[in-house]
Each structure stands twice: as C-alpha cells, then as structure tokens.
Amino acid sequence: MRHERSFAALGHRVLAGCDEVGRGALAGPVSVGLVAVHLESVRALKGVRDSKLLTPADRQALVPKIKKWCPAWGVGHASAAEIDLLGLMGALRLAGTRAWTQVSETLIPDVVLLDGNHNWLSPELQGSLFDEPDEVDDAACTAPVHTRIKADMTCLSVAAASVLAKVERDEMMVQYAAEHPAYGWEINKGYATEAHRAAIDTLGPSPLHRLSWRLGTARSPQDGPAAGPLGG
C-alpha cells in the first residue's frame, strides 16, 4: 500500500484500485474490477497479488477475504457485441463505468489508481456543444484517474481488483462453455490458444466471439472481420 498511501498526502481519503481482464481474448467480455479503500485505515492483506500470478484455487480463496477487507468493490463487464460496437477502449470504459456504479452505491472514491499507461476509464470529452450527450458517461467515473505501469504487481488495491475481475470473468466463461462446448472455454477462458483458433476455423465463430477481431488461424488482417456468428 505504499504507493496508494502517498495519495493521502495530497488530501485524498478514498482510493479505488482498478484493473481489467479479458482484453486479449477472442470471445467473452472484457471485465473491470474496482476496489475502494480508506487510505487512513486500510491494512495489508496477505496473499493478494496480480491475478495472473495466482492459481485458480488461490484466486477463489481470496475473493471473500478481499470483499471483507475493502469497504466497497465492483466488477463490470462489457460483452463481445459491445466490444464490436464500441471498440476495445469504449468497451473497457463501459465495463469500468458499470464497476464504478456498483462502488458508488456504497461510497464515492475521490481518486482512482489504474493499471497501465492509458486512462481508458474516464469519460471522453464531449466534442461539441451540438453533440448529443453520451448516456453512459452520465454515470461514469468522476474522480481523477492516475495510471501506473505494473500497478497490479506493486499496488494491493489494484491487485485485489484484478483478482475479483478475473474470478468473475472465468466463472462466466465456464458457464458459456456449457452452451458452446466445442471452443474449450472452460480451459482457455476465451483466449487465443491454438485449439481455440482451430475450432473457429472448423465451426465458425459463435455469438460470443468478437467478430471484429481476427479469429481463426486461417484469417489474416487483410481478410477483415469474421463472416458472422454460428447460430445467429
């Protein structure tokens, strides 16, 4: 919590750590975790680290501990169809807004620490006075957002957010695998394994694939997006 506590010297009281999972998958949602802490009273939480460094069993065991440790948390998702519609950055912002809304029902953070080097969480500035207001942005993050590369490995609040998001998204992909068993989502969680791409080559994409992405092994960037989802 060393880096998080440095924000207390700037007058901040409630910080939210934020991280995403599923950015590079071919199928399923992008998911954003947000974990809020009181900077004056927060204590360490043993065992929490970047979700990619933990086993599935360890992540599962940490979820109730994290939820008990922090005063507010949220996980938001944006579907594959929303990724195709909005683009990846827009979908991340949408998922982050959904997580922010959940946290804000309990308390409103006055600063956000976001993993990475790009602030995709804050709403985009309105381009013109004549533009229609964005309905999603009305509920979007209102706090200043500070980015930090590898924050999920060095900041406890961000690591905790990554664990919550990873566990929720993995559970969703296992459920989706029961509906679409040929793609192996219970194992690959929608990521681009060789077997996953080969299944897309054979069967075509499902309704849960990101159709604007290069999906199968036989496709190249010049091929453009996939032809359409299997089953509608």
- Residue pair 5/39 in contact (Cβ under 8 Å)? The answer is yes
- In Å, what is the CA distance from 110 to each residue of 140, 153, 232? 13, 22, 43
pLDDT tens digits, 29-64: 999 999 999 999 888 888 887 778 788 999 999 999
Overall residue count recorded for the chain in this entry = 232
Please give the pLDDT value at position 53: 79
Intervals of the chain under pLDDT 70 = 125-138, 218-232
What is the DSSP code (8-state) at residue 232?
-
| Closest among 112, 114, 78, 113 to 95, alpha carbons compared | 78
Alpha carbon distance 14, 29 (integer Å): 28
- Cα 155 → chain centroid: 17
Is 20 annotated in a binding site? The answer is yes
Q: What does the pLDDT read at residue 42? A: 86
19 in a labelled binding site = yes
Q: What per-residue confidence (pLDDT) applies to 134? A: 47
**pLDDT per residue as tens digits for the range 55-75:** 899 999 999 999 999 999 999
pLDDT in the model for residue 138: 65
Identify whether the C-beta of residue 31 lies closer than 8 Å to the C-beta of residue 168.
Answer: yes
Residue 48 has a pLDDT of 86
Q: What is the pLDDT of residue 47?
A: 84
pLDDT value of residue 208: 97
Distance CA 54, CA 170 (A): 13
Give the pLDDT confidence score for residue 218 in this predicted structure.
58
pLDDT of 30: 98
Q: Residue 52's pLDDT is what? A: 81
